[in-house]
Structure 1
């Protein structure tokens, strides 16, 4: 079976997804700042998202909630471009014009997620460091960093910690391919249910709601691993050097999860979930809305709209 890597349709999906995600993240970026601070700074008490943002602004300045915006947007743009392109390209080549199913959406979402993680993890490691740089932490064990930008962060991490440090958190990230896979499975399944064979364009409200529902479910299910991922990317959790990378990663994940439960109980695994849900649900809903509108307008101009509905 032939496999076409380059597809104009997949490119439209990738560009639409990247543009939608960048716009949505910019709008709700302060909410992500609050979530990340709660995940990494274990000594900070869990409070409402507005309270956390008020503390950050009071202690660090009015623009502090947007610290690290540029590297995050760069990483997000690249990550979503890769994910949307791979997801739709793999589906298009597998289905050959047939309608998709939930199992196909899940499998293709996981495959696209693996490719995306391996390709873009260094960008996310750097953006996590830059986003937390200059923050006032409650945890005295966290050391400050001094990066002047994206390139300097790459250079310092490679020089001081080795090339492998750019892939910190890769193993939990690979486990977390379930997050977008579940999200896309639910989203695409709800779209098919709403259309019920009519091959119509969904309304803005319908797209916003199903995008929010899909992300809420995926985020809640995988949140403990997302917390571990953030801690490992920040790079201040010491892993064992006497074991293989795989065993060391597994032990790190296990230790972080157990320590959280011992110190804070089961609720510690979901510290910052409120901020994460508020940010990620709204961001995903707006992202899917913009993605669908951009892709729809482009495909209408190409005269491909009806044929594409039948395959999704």
Structure 2
């Protein structure tokens, strides 16, 4: 945890807006008093549903993202060729390699993200009559993303390792990890805590993805309600939520995708890099700009409907829990 997070007088920007927040521990206590479990449950529900439906596309995205020319990697001509090859060789189980940590990771990430994000927003809104600005939404989402990543990074490492067990369904001897817990134990035993936090730095930079997405989502909702001359918090219908989520996700994914390639390559068990700069140098030297965008098409195809499902489930579950 950062020094700012440990210092209750510097928990979040805007603390000076309320005099009581300068007292030791007051800021943290006030922040946690604004936390609502409903946001956690709603976000978790959305993340689990979308992940179960779209995991095979996540598998394809990661395999393309790490395709750096090593002979041990299967060669695929495109998204459907990859899915068809995995299905033919390993069946449905092959397409769902790594689904357990993906479900845990996505559920926990979305749940914690909405959990922290709404608490931080409520904290900043206190004592402020005007609505939060786009910049405040951006910063709130980035802070929520950093907290969430710190808690979930080990899960994402295990997911990447399991997804990259090539031909494990054909030849069990090639299965380095038997499952999520086995992967966590072996990574910790052989690589220690640093192994569980591989890719954390680019992941931290990647919180800009969630920040941009949430900023765009909030602004789209606000501008749409303003256009209809309705209060900014007016609930939308399912199609409107899906549209806002899709547009915000495509915008964020297009702007920040390279960090996902860097992160996946750092977490890959088949190649070794000394750090973020080493990944960037070698990718640029061997593959050029295209190397930083490998797997982007299956990623956009996956994350857009995943985001729509997640936000739709979240908005409806949170509405039900908060107003029952």
Q: TM-score, normalised by structure 1?
A: 0.84
Report the Cα distance in structure 2 between the residues aligned to 1:69 and 1:157, rounded to whole angstroms: 18
Q: Is the 8 A contact 1:180 1:218 kept in 2?
A: yes
Q: Which moved more, 1:89-98 or 1:14-23?
A: 89-98
How far has the Cα of 1:170 moved from its partner?
A: 0.7
Q: What is aligned with 2:63? A: 37
Report the Cα distance in structure 2 between the residues aligned to 1:172 and 1:46, rounded to whole angstroms: 26
Match of 2:302 among 274, 279, 282: 279
Which aligned pairs between 1:209-248 and structure 2 lie closer than 5 A? 209-240=243-274
Q: What is aligned with 2:32? A: 6
Higher relative contact order (CA 8 A, sep 6+): 1
Structure 1: which 5+ runs fail to align? 137-142, 241-251, 302-312
Q: CA RMSD in A?
A: 2.1
Q: Is 1:146 the counterpart of 2:176 in the alignment?
A: yes
Structure 2: which 5+ runs fail to align? 1-20
Count matched residues.
284
> Deviations 1:63-117 (Å, cap 9, x if unpaired)?
2111111121011112222211111111111111742221111001111111111
Q: Which moved more, 1:185-194 or 1:69-78?
A: 69-78
Q: What is aligned with 2:121? A: 91
Q: What is aligned with 1:118? A: 150
- With over 3 angstroms needed to count, the CA separation of the structure-2 counterparts of 1:108 and 1:149, relative to structure 1, is same
Q: Is 1:16 the counterpart of 2:42 in the alignment?
A: yes
**Residue 201 of structure 1 aligns to a residue in which SS?**
coil
Q: Which moved more, 1:170-179 or 1:95-104?
A: 95-104
Match of 2:88 among 55, 58, 64: 58
Q: Is the 8 A contact 2:249 2:307 kept in 1?
A: yes
Report the Cα distance in structure 1 between the residues aligned to 2:146 and 2:176, rounded to whole angstroms: 31
> Deviations 1:132-188 (Å, cap 9, x if unpaired)?
22447xxxxxx9552222222122112111221110011101110101000000001
Q: Which moved more, 1:284-293 or 1:263-272?
A: 263-272
Q: Is the 8 A contact 1:18 1:81 kept in 2?
A: yes
Q: Is the 8 A contact 2:34 2:122 kept in 1?
A: no
Q: TM-score, normalised by structure 2?
A: 0.81
Q: Is 1:294 the counterpart of 2:320 in the alignment?
A: no
Q: Is the 8 A contact 1:46 1:272 kept in 2?
A: no
Q: Is the 8 A contact 1:168 1:235 kept in 2?
A: no
**Residue 92 of structure 2 aligns to a residue in which SS?**
coil
- With over 3 angstroms needed to count, the CA separation of the structure-2 counterparts of 1:123 and 1:81, relative to structure 1, is same
> Deviations 1:190-229 (Å, cap 9, x if unpaired)?
0111111513211111110110111111111111111010
How far has the Cα of 1:52 moved from its partner?
A: 1.6
Q: Is the 8 A contact 2:46 2:107 kept in 1?
A: no
